[in-house]
Amino acid sequence: MDDTDSALLGHLQRDARLTNRELARLTGIAPSTCLERVRNLRARGVITGYHAAVDPRALGRSLQALIFARLRPLSREVITSFRGYLSGLPEVLSVLVVSGDEDFVIHVAVPTIEDLHAFLMDRVSARREVVDFRSSVIYQRTVTQVLTPLGGADEG
């Protein structure tokens, strides 16, 4: 990973719809070099895909929350099953399996506080493996739009 790769990644993370020619111009390299470098970043697994960012509020989901859940018995099978269950729910934005007091952190987006309550009662507490959960409403959220290498551009 060098400075050119870092610049390519930064531009693509800000706008993945840039054409190869535009990306090359912004980075100061030839289009053929740009195309090869982006292909190499994909082949190395640095770039894992492209997507459209969507604002949950624009889809009527103005309330976001984090749900912290503990499961028992704690086993690979239980964790895998619960993670798969959550991933299939339309309210769920992301699922994290974590260490510490809780086993899962679940990020959800729903229309109202009543919908959050229904999700907790009907989807989370209804599962036998869930022994405890708590939720925190998200008031504000800032997302890092551009991920850069740590410790300099030569790492990677």
Would 149 be classed as within a structural domain? no
Angle between helices 20-27 and 3-14 (to 10 degrees): 130
What is the arithmetic mean of pLDDT over 25-31? 97
Alpha-carbon separation of residue 122 from 12, 50, 74, 118 (angstroms): 40, 33, 22, 6
Domain with residue 80: its CATH number is 3.30.70.920
What is the arithmetic mean of pLDDT over 129-148? 93
CA 97 from chain centre, in angstroms, equals 13
Report pLDDT digits (tens) over 122-131: 999 999 999 9
> Do 89 and 25 have their domain in common?
no
Per the model's pLDDT, the better-predicted residue between 143 and 133 turns out to be 133
Structure tokens at 104: 């899962």
Residue 144: band (very low, low, confident or very high) from pLDDT cuts 50, 70, 90: confident
Report pLDDT digits (tens) over 59-110: 999 999 999 999 999 999 999 999 999 999 999 999 999 999 999 999 999 9
> Do 32 and 67 have their domain in common?
no
What is the domain range of residue 10?
Answer: 3-43
Are 131 and 72 within 8 A, CB to CB? yes
Return the percentage of the chain with pLDDT > 90, whole number: 88
| Number of domains present in the structure of the chain | 2
Looking at the DSSP bridge assignments, the partners of residue 92 are: 108
Are 83 and 103 within 8 A, CB to CB? no
Domain with residue 18: its CATH number is 1.10.10.10
The residue type of 117 is H
pLDDT at 153: 46
